Amino acid sequence: MRKIEEIRRNGRLQIIEEGMDGMMGYIHLPISKRPLTFVFSWGGGWEHVSVSHRNKVPTWDEMYMVKDIFFEDEEVVVQYHPRKSEYVNIHPYTLHLWRPINKEIPTPPIEFV
């Protein structure tokens, strides 16, 4: 995760509210017609960003830019597709980026990607 001060200074973010372990607001991306809503947190052993549009799912390019705002270049983050029994869908147009704190996420060999 980038340092909180670096995230706060990012000119693409409009932070509406901050708490002890997170913040929320809007992300203004040059490739998006309207700002995306975001919630970012770093509690419970996880760093997490949720991103949404009001009426469509964020694109790959938008998520790539969001990853760059909140995480370091060499950090791996994932988007999980959970077990059906654990699935929660509060907002149909929201995607999530996750990274466990102080743990490495395994990745496939580069030649497989």
Contact between 105 and 63 under an 8 Å Cβ cutoff? The reply is no
Token duo for residue 77: 């983050």
pLDDT tens readout for residues 99-112: 999 999 999 999 99
CATH number, domain 4-112: 3.40.1720
pTM of the predicted model as reported, rounded to 2 decimal places: 0.92
Domain ranges for the chain, please list them.
4-112
**Single-letter amino acid code for the residue at 72:** E
Instruction: Mention every residue, 6+ apart, whose C-beta is less than 8 A from residue 6.
Output: none
Find the farthest-apart pair of alpha carbons in the chain and give their distance in angstroms, rounded: 42
Q: What is the mean pLDDT of the chain?
A: 95
